[in-house]
Homo-oligomer: A and B are copies of this chain.
Amino acid sequence: MINIAVLGYGTIGSGVVEVLSTNGESIKKRAGDQINVKYVLDLREFPGDPIMEKVVKDINIILNDPEVLIVCEHMGGVEPAYTFVKSALLKGKSVVTSNKELVAKHGAELLDIAKENNLNFLFEASVGGGIPIIRPLNQSLTADEIVEITGILNGTTNYILSKMSDEGIDFDTALEQAQKLGYAERNPAADVEGHDACRKIAILSSLAFGMQVDFEDIYTEGITKISAIDIRYAKALGAKIKLFATSIRQGESVYAMVAPVMINENHPLFSVNNVFNGIFVKGNVIGDVMFYGSGAGKLPTASAVVADIVDAAKHLGKNIWTIWSSKKLVLSDINLVQHRFFIRVSGEDATMKEQVVKLFGNIEEVTAGIAGEYAFITPSITEQELKEKKDSLTGVLSVIRVRF
């Protein structure tokens, strides 16, 4: 029997306990031993719940019990999660976490401590919910030099953009619907401003390139400015607007950004809709691969956590190699990155066109039957050029990067 402790009995923590119970028999076969939840750390009481007797309020009870071999952390946020997880590792316990803030901030250090102590620090559930992506990056794509990782990593924004596209509604209405369904928080900033996706792409980039990518360094733009009219133009182009979190190697340097982009049906992530997540990886030998599934939700996320518990149980006393050095990866200047840009400006077609062509050269005109404005796609130019040219245009209504 392998004893574990669950820190935090919210949605994910209780999902973990549920999955361990529902699939107990097959999990035992996979792990080679029975997994037993010995403690649940939570400040609340859970009368009537099967784990009622296991609830403790003091982390030291768990840290000081040598029978606990694996600690699962699902409290969220950096503190006190960081202190608890670090202490658990130093006390000789492997740690499994679903906490993206913790991993993005302290992943490299916690992996080091785990390695030094022949333990494991696993975090499959911190990115992409149930989708296997951390383990494939660490263990399956080992023959490749990763050239690109691009993900739709936030289910809330993907749901909002899908609804806007399906129903022609505006951002505020779609957000309200998402909140009603529990897909968005009452304070939705972390999702809609791109901060959640930013932490996740920081984690994936650190693993893909083997060095610390600080999330604070990643250019991040949310979806709050995307309008129903932008979506009408996208449709006229056979395109969709998606929030991409992306990290691309160009020669020796890597740039990363989170921003809405237009993609068409040729992109493998085109069909990733609603609350689903998708992660696209390009390697220098494997070419394009894509992973798709539920990016959030109690049971899918718990499935990823329990898979990590099984892995930790199978590797007691043996560190599973993960290459994520604490050496900082200096990202290249986003101003040098080239894109085509979709731009809408207010004004009459004829007059605007002349001005725009003079400024951008060979543009692609886009029409969607909207009066009083002019829309086009620029040739491929740098972010810096875009800024400069945009400043000399009056009445810019929106700018969206184009990935086709």
CB within 8 Å of B: which residues of A? 19, 22-23, 26-27, 29-32, 124, 130-132, 135-136, 139-145, 210, 265, 268, 270-271, 283-294, 297, 299-300, 302-307, 309-311, 314, 318, 321, 323
Q: How far is the CA of A210 from the CA of B271 in the complex (A)?
A: 32
A140/B29 in contact, CB under 8 A = no
Task: Tell me how many chains of this kind the complex includes.
Answer: 2
Q: Is the CB of A30 within 8 A of B323?
A: yes
Q: Are A300 and B271 in contact (CB under 8 A)?
A: no
- Distance in angstroms between the alpha carbons of A130 and B287 in the assembled complex: 8
Query: Closest B-chain residue to A16, C-beta based?
Result: B143
Q: How far is the CA of A306 from the CA of B286 in the complex (A)?
A: 11
Nearest B residue to A271 by beta-carbon distance? B271
Contacts of A19 in B (CB 8 A): 143, 285
A sample of 12 inter-chain contacts (CB < 8 A) reads A22-B284, A130-B289, A131-B289, A132-B136, A132-B141, A141-B303, A142-B311, A265-B271, A268-B292, A286-B299, A286-B300, A286-B303
**Bound form: Cα–Cα A285–B321 in Å:** 27
Q: Contact between A307 and B142 (Cβ–Cβ < 8 Å)?
A: yes
Q: Which residues of B contact A323 (CB under 8 A)?
A: 29-30
Known A-B contacts A271-B265, A285-B22, A292-B268; A303 and B144 likewise in contact (beta carbons under 8 Å): yes
Residue of B nearest to A318 (CB): B318
Q: CB-CB < 8 A to A297: which residues of B? A: 287
Interface centre among A132, A142, A270, A305 (most CB of B within 10 A): A142
Inter-chain CA distance A136–B292, complex, in Å, is 13
Chain B residues positioned under 8 Å from A268 (CB to CB): 271, 292
Q: How far is the CA of A304 from the CA of B283 in the complex (A)?
A: 12
Q: Which residues of B contact A30 (CB under 8 A)?
A: 142, 321, 323
In the complex formed, the residue of B with least CB distance to A25 is B145
User: Which chain B residues border A144 with CB–CB below 8 Å?
Assistant: 23, 26, 303
Q: Do residues A143 and B286 form an inter-chain contact, with CB atoms below 8 A? A: no
Asked if residues A285 and B271 are in contact (CB atoms below 8 Å), the reply is no
Checking B294, B302, B307 against A139 with a beta-carbon cut-off of 8 angstroms, the contacting residue is: B307
Point out the residues of chain B lying under 8 angstroms from A318, CB to CB.
318
With A265-B271, A293-B290 known to touch, is A307 a contact of B27 (CB < 8 Å)?
A: no
Whether the Cβ atoms of A290 and B291 lie closer than 8 Å is yes
What is the minimal beta-carbon distance from A288 to any residue of chain B, in angstroms?
Answer: 6
For the complex formed, measure the closest distance between the CB of A21 and the CB atoms of chain B, giving whole angstroms.
11
Q: Which residues of B contact A270 (CB under 8 A)?
A: 271
B293 close to A288 (CB less than 8 A):
yes
Q: Which residues of B contact A304 (CB under 8 A)?
A: 140, 143, 286
Chain B residues contacting A265 (CB-CB under 8 Å) are 271
Q: Which of chain B's residues has its CB closest to A130's CB?
A: B286
Q: Quick one: closest B residue to A136, CB to CB?
A: B132
In the A-B complex, list the 6 residue pairs whose CB atoms are closest, starting with the nearest.
Answer: A143-B306, A132-B140, A289-B293, A286-B303, A290-B292, A130-B286
- The answer for the CA separation of A297 and B284 in the assembled complex, in Å, is 14
Residues of B within 8 A of A300 (CB): 285-287
Q: Contact: B285 with A303, CB < 8 Å?
A: yes
Report whether A143 and B287 are in contact in the complex, using a CB–CB cutoff of 8 Å.
no
